[in-house]
Structure 1
C-alpha cells in the first residue's frame, strides 16, 4: 500500500511540475519515454533472469498452473470489452489496451502514451494503480467470496512483487509459487498485448 501511495505522490508531483512549468518547455523530448521504456524492459529481463531459483521452480511446476494467468488475461479482457460499451469516447481496442496493463502501470502507461497520447496513458496509469490498490485492500474479501486464487488473479502482474506479501498472508505459503509464476507470465504478455491493441 505504501508503495502505491508513493507512486501516486510522484504522479501528482509530476502534474504540479508540469502545470507550474518548472521544467523549460522542449527540455523533455518525446524520445526520453522511449529510452525509459527500453530501460524498464531491460530491468524486467534482468530481474527474471537473475533469479535462478525461481526459474528452477517454474520448470518443476505442473503445467496446469498456466490456467491461472490464462484465466486472468481472458477474464480481464472480457470484462474490459463489456465495460468499453459504456465508454463511447474510447474505442474497444483502446479500452483493451488499458486493460492489458494488468497492473503493470510503469510499462503499459508509457506504451499507451507513446501510441495513443497522454490522456489515455494517464487513464492506463490510474487504472493499473487502482488494480494494485484493490488487490492490497480487498484480498480478505476476495478470499472469502471467490477462493484462494482470486487475490492472485486480481493482482495481475503485481502478484509476483508488490502484492505477494498479502497474497502469502491470506492465500497461504503453498500459493506463493502460483502467484510468482502468474505474475511473470502476465507480466510478459503486457508489451505484446498493449502494443497489439494500440495498433488495431
Structure 2
C-alpha cells in the first residue's frame, strides 16, 4: 500500500514538473523511459535469480492449480477487452494492453507509454495500482464470497511479493506456494503480453 501511494505521488510530481517546465528538455525526452525499463527488467531477473528455493518449491503444487495463472490471464484479458470496447477513445487492444499489466504497474506503464503514448501509460499505471490496492483491501471479502483462491487471481503479478502477506493471512499459509507460483508465471507474462497488444501485430 505504501509503495502504491509513493508511486502516485511521484506521478503527480512528474506531472507538475512537466506542466511548469521545471526540468531541462534533455530530461523530459523519451530516451529516459527506455533506460528505466532496462533497470526494471534487470531488477525482475535479479529478484528471481536471488531466490534459489523458488523454482524447487513449485514441485509441491497440486497439478490442477498449475492452471490458475492461465485462468487469471484469460479472465483479465476478456474483461479488459470488454472494457476497452465500451470506453470511448479506447480500443480493444489498448484495453488488453492495460489489463496485461496484471497489477505490475511500474513495468506495464512504461511499456504502454512507449508504445501508445503518455495518456494510455497513465491509464495503465492507475488501473494496475487500483488492482493491487483492491487485492490488499478486499482480500477478506474475496475469501468470504469467492473462496481462498480469489485474492490470488485478483492480485495478479503481485502475489509473489506485495500482496503475499495479505494472501497468507486470509487464504492461509497452505496457499503460500500457490501464490508464489501464480505471481511468478503471471509476472513473466507481463512484458510479452503488453508488448504484443501494444504492437502493430494486434491492431483491433
Q: TM over 0.5, yes or no?
A: yes
Which residue number corresponds to residue 171 of structure 1? Answer: 171
Distance (whole Å) between structure 1 residues aligned to residue 60 and residue 49 of structure 2: 17
Matches within 5 A, 1:11-160: 11-160=11-160
Deviation at 1:26, TM superposition (A): 3.3
Unaligned stretches of 5+ residues in structure 2: none
Distance (whole Å) between structure 2 residues aligned to residue 187 and residue 62 of structure 1: 20
Deviation at 1:159, TM superposition (A): 0.7
1:156-180 C-alpha deviation (Å, 9 max, x unpaired): 0011111111111000000011111
Task: State the number of aligned residues.
Answer: 200
Distance (whole Å) between structure 1 residues aligned to residue 122 and residue 179 of structure 2: 27
Distance (whole Å) between structure 1 residues aligned to residue 58 and residue 10 of structure 2: 35
Change (3 A) 1:189 1:29: same
TM-score normalised per structure 1: 0.96
Range with greater deviation from structure 2 (123-132 or 36-45):
36-45
Deviation at 1:4, TM superposition (A): 1.4
3-state SS of paired residue (1:27): helix
Please provide the CA RMSD for this pair: 1.2
TM-score normalised per structure 2: 0.94
Distance (whole Å) between structure 1 residues aligned to residue 27 and residue 82 of structure 2: 41
